[in-house]
Amino acid sequence: MSPVAANTGANDTDDVRAAAAGDRHAFERLYRLHVARVHGAVYRLAGYDRARAEDLTQEAFIRAWQKLPGFRHQSAFGTWLYRLAVNLALMDIRARGADPVSMVDDERLPDTGQTPFCAAEREELERAIGRLPPRARAVLVLHDIEGWRHEQIGSEMGMATGTSKAQLHRARGLLRKILGPAAPGVPA
């Protein structure tokens, strides 16, 4: 399973081709179509730091504009842009000296469940995720929120699949500690 595909309209392909040829209005339409998804992903990876997420979102679109003439249309533009943005956020985590990967005993990892949140619980959970160490936060966000498999995470972050699983286990444990014993929606 690959990351969730972006919403693409019938004009997406035409706008991509026009933007690759230098049409700034076409690129502006692509920006408006995809900015929410890109910002959401980098916002979570940046630890819910709004200013950092804004910078990463802007950088993703600048890089997309620069690289667009080389876009080969082997995937949807939204997917390509999303991966570009996530890669930028992961590079940012590495550049900021993310915590070293710590190993956790191989344990059977629980399945994730879907628990609805009220606004206050969601805000508390977002703050708690933002407090996680960067690599653990990245794995948690990519796996539990963005829907990536551990193999994909390991490949993108330069770690073994087992290390990705260990980081997810670590992140979930830290979330339980931050949120307390009755933390809603945090898998045990």
Residue that is last in its domain, among 75, 95, 115? 95
4 within some domain: no
Place 1 in a pLDDT band, splitting at 50, 70 and 90. very low
Residue that is last in its domain, among 95, 126, 141? 95
Which CATH number does the domain housing residue 49 bear? 1.10.1740.10
Tell me if 175 sits within 8 A of 185, measured CB to CB: no
pTM of the entire predicted model: 0.65
pLDDT tens, position by position, 30-78: 999 999 999 999 998 888 889 999 999 999 999 999 999 988 888 889 9
Which CATH number does the domain housing residue 141 bear? 1.10.10.10
Contacts with 14 (C-beta within 8 Å, 6 or more apart), sequence order? 26
Residue 76 tokens, joined: 């949807």
Q: How many domains does the chain have?
A: 2
**Domain extent for 166:** 99-188
For the four alpha carbons of 130, 131, 132 and 133, in that order, the dihedral sign comes to positive
pLDDT tens, position by position, 75-126: 889 989 998 999 899 888 888 775 433 333 323 333 334 444 566 777 888 8
Cα(58)–Cα(141) distance, integer angstroms? 20
